Chains A and B, each alone.
Chain A
Amino acid sequence: MTEPLSFELSRPAVDPPRLPEADVAGPAPSDVLPHEALRSRPPGLPRLSEPEIMRHYSRLASLNYSISENFYPLGSCTMKYNPVLNEEAAALPGFAGLHPYQEEDSVQGALELMWRLERALCAIVGVERVTLQPAAGAHGEWTALRMIAAFHHSRDDRRTEVLVPDSAHGTNPASAALSGFHVVEVKSGQDGRISLADLESKLSPQTAALMLTNPNTLGLFEREILDIAEMVHATGALLYYDGANLNAFMGICRPGDMGFDAVHMNLHKTFTTPHGGGGPGAGPVGVKSELVPFLPTPTVERTNGHLTLDHKRPQSIGRVRSFYGNFGMLVRAYTYILAMGGDGLGQASQDAVLSANYLRKLVENDLEMPHDGPCMHEFVASAHNLHEDGVRALDVAKALLDRQFYAPTIYFPLVVPEAIMVEPTETESKATLDSFAAAIKEIVAQARTEPQTLHEEPKNLPVGRLDEVAAARKINAYLQGQSEDPILRWKAPSKES
């Protein structure tokens, strides 16, 4: 089942919706603007009635898989249930209706919420201050690196390198490069953790920072973290924490106590703001005192119960986003933290770790486990053992889709061949984890007996495997001017054909 595009459903006979009339005597654009300033023909938007629009999007919605429907074991993405209360809170007119340039005395509630969220995040990760401005995780990473760069510059120290483990998220090296740093890769050891020997050899007076995820992307806690922090700090570099895996240890331990100087958090992972099919999220960054002067402007300050926005911070890296960040997501995260409390957040992380270890145990004889447990909130398996049957991680993923599950993250981290990265989160019940393990067992059995059938999955979804190679070839032809079919957008069929 597929759905036509809105452009294909468009009918010229559809009248535009009823909208307000001007009701004042004023000129039309063509009365006063020069002809060349005016649009020559109307934009090619579709023309559909409201019932047609609602049906179109309802049908599209039915083609989607979501966490509301079932288990979403996407490793590193922390797909946990998004409480519906969060949505109600963000939609309150007292928040949704606020203009960002209203006078400060008319937005005290909003500023208070930001101030309190900042305090709560400080308590959870163990830092001095937090900026709520970054719009997503990668944006937070980059913001943190800009602050780290400013910190070194303020000491007349021109450090040029950022160290990134080979198991890191792709955003880490990209953020470092966009921040003007040269990226140096640090190798993982046999046990899946960062190699201290390799780290030692890469650290130098040029090192501005080490970017680390802990637990790392293999779901393993870097147990030598205190030694790592000491080594990094001894060279005058700072330690950056990638908060993608924060869900592993709320209330158990804190990056600030581990020695991290800057910590980013994904509110759309750990703090249940919905992912929206690819955002909006929010990526606040927490910092220790030495980085506080470099926080983006404005910060939210509170004096005698009165809240203000502080724009005058001479050493600030400046502004990283318009206004104050994704405020609507901040409301959702604050609502979640309030409802959960310190006790609830701690329990959530414990449950997440328990779920991951339980599921890992259930499938440890079906897939390869490249590293010893226990794991934290996620684990990385490998489909390498199915290689001889011609079955790959991709096939396992597609077969899971056919069994009413979303697929785990595959082929990441890059250090594990045929990686299958599973993050169950605290949301899932034992029954769900059992049924997922049963599906894995069924797929592995199928790989042993009729491997070729796995290449044909998924069969039960709106479309089968899509030929991305052919699509890429067509896009190349378009970009090189050899074809007029853009592939990246719809285009009205030309009149001649």
Chain B
Amino acid sequence: MTQKEVYDKVVSVLVEEFEVEDDDINLDANLFTDLKLDSLDAIDLMVTLDKELGIEIKTEEMKDLRTIKDVCDFVLATSNNE
């Protein structure tokens, strides 16, 4: 997957599943302070990405993810490793 494909997928999941406003999303947006998600939302975001992209993401690997860029980089790295 390309960086753009991952970003577009993350954006579409955030908008459709988490009802985040499209305008609030950018690479630097913080999941918790800017997008007002919480730790359970973060888990469910990764679960949804796992389902949609078929990549396994372990909960303990997510604890350092803060921004949309963190999520995209993590998904991309995991996807490439698989």
Q: Judge: A and B partners, yes or no.
A: no
Binding site for A on B (CB under 8 A): none
